Structure 1
Amino acid sequence: MDIQGQLVGLACSVAVSAGGAWWFLRRFSQARHLLDTPTSKIRSAAQGYVEFYGVLHDSTEPQLLGPLTNTPCLWWRYKIEEYTSNGKKRSWRTLESGSSEALLRLDDSTGSCLIDPRGAQVRPLTREVWKGSLRHPLGAAKTGWRALFSNDERYRYTEERLHAGQPLYAIGDFRSSGGGRQGLDLPAAQGAVIREWKGDFGGLLQRFDSDGNGQLDEREWQRVQLAASLEAEDRHRRQSTQPVQHHLAKPREAQPFILSCAGEDELVRQFYWQAAGGVVLCLAGALAAAWLLGINSF
C-alpha cells in the first residue's frame, strides 16, 4: 500500500473510531439521564428537568391533519423520498420532510401539561410507509391487494402520527405559570416594561415629556421608571390570578428532550444497544488505525 493510501485509510479509521466514541458517550449519557430522573406527577412536579407518564388528549388547538393521508391527529411528521439510480448506485433521496409544531396536551391522574414538541426526539406509535408514482400521494397508504400488486415505486412516503388516547412518556424542562406560583423580580420586570415602551418612543415622549422639548430629562426619566414599576406590579398581580398552567419544552442544557409512546425501560434498552454499537465502531476504527500504523513501521 502506498503512503497516500495509508494516510487516507488512517484518517478514515480515526474518524470511525472518534465517531463511535462520540455515539457511545451520547447514547450512554441519554440512558443515564432517563434512569436518574424520577417520574413525577404534574400537579406536584418541581420546576426544572422532569419526566412524566400520561395520556394524550385533544387540546384547544385546531385539529391537525396528516399532510400525506389527511388523517386527524395531534402531531405529525412526514418524509417524501425519490428512488434514484446511477449505474450500480441506487438510493432513496429525500425531497421533502417536516413536522408539526402545535402544542400537545398530556394528562395524568393529577393534572394537564402542555408540551411544545419543537426540538424533541419524538417516537410515535403510528408509522405508515408506502410507495407511489406521484410526488405527492393521493390519499392514504395502499393496503391489501392494492399494495401487493403495485409497481409504482418511484416515490416513497413516510408519515408518523400521535393520536388522542395514546400513552406518552415525556422528559424535558417543566415550568408553571399563573396561580401566584411565580415571585416578582421587580427590576427585571420593570426593565421589560421600559423596553416595551421604548419600542414606541413617540408615545413614550407624549406621556412623559412634560416640557415638550423632545427629550426626557432626569426628572421625567424618574417618572418613567416609577410608572414602569407600577405597571410591572400590576401585570404580575393580574397574572397571579390566572389559573396555573404547566408547560414542558426543550431544556436549555444538553439534556434529552424525548416524547415517546414507548416507556422508559424500552428506551433505555435501545440506548444501551446503540451505545454498544458505538463501542464496536470505536474499537474497529482503533484496530484498523493500529494495523495501518504497524504496516508503516515496517
Structure 2
Amino acid sequence: MAIEGAWIGMGLSVGAAVAGGWWFMRRYAQARHLLDTPTSKIRSAAQGYVEFYGVLQACAGAEVIAPLTGKPCQWWRFRIEEYVGDDNKKSWRPVESGVSDSWLQLSDGTGECLINPQGAEVRPVTREIWKGSLRHPRGPQKSGLTAFLSMGKRYRYIEERLHVGQPLYAIGDFRSSGGGRQGLDLQRRQAEVIRHWKSDFGGLLQRFDSDGNGQLDEQEWNRVRLAAQLEAEDLHRADSLKPDQHHMAKPLESQPFILSCAGEDELARQLYWQAAAGAAVCIAGALGFAWILGN
C-alpha cells in the first residue's frame, strides 16, 4: 500500500508540476503579447495582429437578449449549476451553459470595427449570480407531480454580459476591406468571373456562341476572356468605392485573442498574477516529487 501511495503521490506531483508550468508559460506569454503590442487606431491600423481600446456600440440587426435575465445586451455567457451530492459532501455541478455568437462593434473615435467573438477569451465587467429552485430562472413554474419531484432542488445561475457604452479592450487579427485597399489581381478576378459564367453554360453560349453550333471555338473563348477581364475591372472599381469595413477575429497563429472591459495594464496585471499562481503550483509539484523520491 505504501508503494502504491508513493506512485499515486508521484503521479499527482508530476501532474501538478506540468499543469502549473503550462499555465505559467501560457499566462506569461499572453501578458507579454499585450504589453508588447502598441495600441492602434482603427482608421490607421496596419493589417494583422493589433490591439484597440474603445467603446461598444450597438450592432445593426436583431436585438440580443440574455437567456437567464432577459436583459438586452450585445453579448452574453451563462452557466446553470445544480447543488448535488449526499449529506456529507455536496457541491455545485454544471448542468447547462451557453455563449453568444453575436458580433460586436467597437468604436474608438476614428472608426468602427466589427468583432467576431468566436474563439476569444471574453472578460465582461457585468456578472450576475443568484440562486433559485427552477432549472431555468425564466421557465414556467412547476406544478403537480413535476413540482413534487423537483422539491428541494437548488440551482445557481451565473450570467455575464457586454452592454452598449461599456469600454472594451480588443486584441486579435485585424483585416480591412473596401476603400480601394485591395489591389487588383486581374487574373484571379477574371478566372472567378469565368467560373461564375460557366455555372450557367447555357447563358454563356447564348452570349458568346456566334455561329450557334452549341460550342465555343477559340475566337469565341477569346471574346469570353476579354469580357471577363472588363467585368473583373468593373467589379474592382465598384469594390473600391465601398466604404472601409474593418473586422477583427481570432488569429490563425497561437497569439491571444482577448476581449475585455478592463484596460491593458489591469488585464496584464491579472495575467501576471495567474502566471505566478501557475509557477507556484509547478514548484510545489516538483518539491513534492523530490520529497517522495527522498523518502
Relative to the length of structure 1, the TM-score reads: 0.84
Query: Quick check: 59-68 or 228-237, which moved more?
Result: 228-237
User: For the residues of structure 1 that align with 2:74 and 2:186, how far apart are their CA atoms?
Assistant: 39
* SS of structure 2 residue aligned to 1:102: coil
Letter in 1 for 2:137: P
Name the counterpart of 1:40. 40
Is the CA contact 2:197–2:204 (under 8 Å) kept in the aligned structure 1? Answer: no
Relative to the length of structure 2, the TM-score reads: 0.85
User: For the residues of structure 2 that align with 1:222 and 1:22, how far apart are their CA atoms?
Assistant: 60
Q: CA deviation at 1:11?
A: 2.0
RMSD: 2.6
Name the counterpart of 1:17. 17
Q: CA deviation at 1:69?
A: 1.1
Summarize deviations over 1:56-114 as a string: whole Å, max 9, x none: 11121222111111111111111111111135332222222112222211111211111
Letter in 1 for 2:268: V
Q: CA deviation at 1:229?
A: 4.5
Name the counterpart of 1:62. 62
Name the counterpart of 1:164. 164
Percent of aligned pairs sharing the same letter: 64
* SS of structure 1 residue aligned to 2:294: helix
Structure 2 unaligned residues grouped into runs of 5+ = 140-150
Letter in 2 for 1:186: L
| Compared CA separation, residues 164 and 54, structure 1 to 2 (3 A) | same
* SS of structure 1 residue aligned to 2:293: helix
Is the CA contact 1:38–1:51 (under 8 Å) kept in the aligned structure 2? Answer: yes
| Compared CA separation, residues 219 and 130, structure 1 to 2 (3 A) | farther
Alignment: residue pair count: 279
Is the CA contact 1:170–1:259 (under 8 Å) kept in the aligned structure 2? Answer: yes
Q: CA deviation at 1:116?
A: 1.2
Is the CA contact 1:131–1:153 (under 8 Å) kept in the aligned structure 2? Answer: no
Name the counterpart of 1:71. 71
Residue among 193, 201, 204 paired with 2:201: 204
Name the counterpart of 1:143. none
| Compared CA separation, residues 5 and 212, structure 1 to 2 (3 A) | farther
Summarize deviations over 1:119-176 as a string: whole Å, max 9, x none: 111111111111111111138xxxxxxxxxxx97611111111111111111111111
* SS of structure 2 residue aligned to 1:79: strand
User: For the residues of structure 2 that align with 1:169 and 1:101, how far apart are their CA atoms?
Assistant: 18
User: For the residues of structure 1 that align with 2:196 and 2:85, how far apart are their CA atoms?
Assistant: 57
User: For the residues of structure 1 that align with 2:32 and 2:125, how far apart are their CA atoms?
Assistant: 24
Q: CA deviation at 1:45?
A: 0.8
Is the CA contact 1:80–1:158 (under 8 Å) kept in the aligned structure 2? Answer: yes
| Compared CA separation, residues 187 and 96, structure 1 to 2 (3 A) | farther
| Compared CA separation, residues 218 and 286, structure 1 to 2 (3 A) | farther
Query: Quick check: 234-243 or 166-175, which moved more?
Result: 234-243
Name the counterpart of 1:142. none
| Compared CA separation, residues 112 and 135, structure 1 to 2 (3 A) | same
| Compared CA separation, residues 188 and 282, structure 1 to 2 (3 A) | farther
User: For the residues of structure 2 that align with 1:73 and 1:58, how far apart are their CA atoms?
Assistant: 9
- For the pair 1:261 / 2:258, whether they are aligned, the reply is no
Summarize deviations over 1:202-246 as a string: whole Å, max 9, x none: x23652595547xx8888777666555444433322211101111
Name the counterpart of 2:142. none
- For the pair 1:179 / 2:179, whether they are aligned, the reply is yes
Structure 1 unaligned residues grouped into runs of 5+ = 140-150
User: For the residues of structure 2 that align with 1:79 and 1:130, how far apart are their CA atoms?
Assistant: 11
